[in-house]
Structure 1
Amino acid sequence: MALEIERRFLVRGELWRPYALDGSVIRQGYLASGNEGPTLRVRLARPPAGPVAAFLTLKLPPAGEGLTGPEHREPIPAAGVALAREEYEYAIPSSDAEALLERCPHRVGKIRYGLDLPGGDWVLDVFEGANAPLVVAEVELERADQPVAVPPWCAREITGRRELSNAALARYPLALWLEADRQALLALTT
């Protein structure tokens, strides 16, 4: 078991591009997901060179925080506080991932870039399809209180905003949001 500790940010403009490493085309689907409790995801990643990678991932709130009921809801972190979850991730054959993706009722597509930045493991997702033109950067940390040098092109922190999680965007993509809500979010990135 690993503990995933991350912070997420809306990205403004194109100033992130000089920090970008090769991008992988990612398709991921959700076999089970919700605002609270476990999320079961299948991911297929196609890098520009090298073999296709496929994973089955289970994410849970940290032990002791419970899985259901309002009294056990995962707290929404304050700005500047990382979100921590238990994460179990297993490599699977790409043919299995393809078959599972076909069974997923909710999917999301994006191009993921590694970022050459200090202070954690940074990635940037450029969403495609119904979630375009959303761009989100995230950093995985070793500890929740680890300081982070946030690049100036990160427009706003969205850590803990459940409606902007990948699972939520798969269920209810940006294209289905009320126009005013969608424009308000995208205005933060221009």
Structure 2
Amino acid sequence: MGVEIERKFLVQPSWHPAASGEEIAQGYLSSVPERTVRVRIRGAKGYLTVKGKNGGADAARRAEFEYEIPVADARAMLALCEPGLCEKVRHLERAADGHDWEIDVFHGRNEGLIVAEVELGAEDEPFERPSWLGKEVTGDERYYNSSLAQHPYETWKQL
């Protein structure tokens, strides 16, 4: 079984991309808390991903299964998704300690939000915190991409 152990953080305004990133568009066939089924186009490739529930004491860990699918199929599936599309540019950066960081710069209705994620081999695995790393939001459901598709960042200011 595939397992994802991931920590998520906000990014300080001092961060600037080291290189150009990759465009991502994704939607959700299912966004219920017990499981999410995501369709993604990343660059010229399509993906179908099923993720289990996260939250509680194990907020950083959950089941994950991801499969590459033809990009034409991914485009067709995006039309079947629940309302709301997540659009972002993903930048990859390697920290001095060897950990890879995925920094997502959101666009569209999530414009202004920048989130960084690091995948770990264990929940207690130590990692270097880059200087541009902000507040940890692991387990905060507002920052789940499935939630951002339904409750975009631009609407948070109205609350």
CA distance in structure 2 between the aligned counterparts of 1:161 and 1:44, rounded to whole angstroms: 25
Q: SS of the counterpart of 1:103?
A: coil
RMSD: 1.7
State the match for 1:122 in structure 2.
101
Moved over 6 A (4+): none
Deviations, residues 32-61 of structure 1 (Å, cap 9, x unaligned): 013x20000000011xxxxx1110000013
CA distance in 2, matches of 1:76, 1:151: 25
The question of whether the paired residues in 2 share the 8 Å contact of 1:38 and 1:61 is answered with yes
- Percent identity, aligned pairs only, is 41
* Residue aligning to 1:95: 72
Structure 1 counterpart of 2:26, one-letter code: Q
Deviation at 1:160, TM superposition (A): 0.5
Structure 1 residue 27 corresponds to structure 2 residue 25:
yes
How far the C-alpha of 1:76 sits from its partner, in A, is 5.2
8 Å CA contact 1:11, 1:136 repeated in 2 = yes
Aligned counterpart, 1:144: 123
Task: Measure how far apart 1:175 and its partner are.
Answer: 1.4
One-letter amino acid of the counterpart of residue 146, structure 2: A
- Which protein is richer in helix relative to its size? 1
Is 1:41–2:20 an aligned residue pair? no
Is residue 2:140 matched to residue 1:161? yes
TM-score of the pair, normalised by structure 2: 0.91
2:56 corresponds to which residue? 75
1:86 equivalent to 2:63? Answer: yes
Structure 2: distance between partners of 1:13 and 1:144: 27
Residue 176 of structure 1 and its aligned partner are, at CA, apart by: 1.7
Partner SS for 2:74? helix
Q: In the comparison of the two structures, how many residue pairs are matched?
A: 157
Gaps of 5+ in 1: 47-51, 63-73, 182-190
Deviations 1:50-97 (A, max 9, x none): xx11100000137xxxxxxxxxxx3156xxxx6001101000000000
Between the aligned partners of 1:12 and 1:107, the Cα distance in structure 2 is 25
Query: Where does structure 2 lack aligned partners over 5 or more consecutive residues?
Result: none
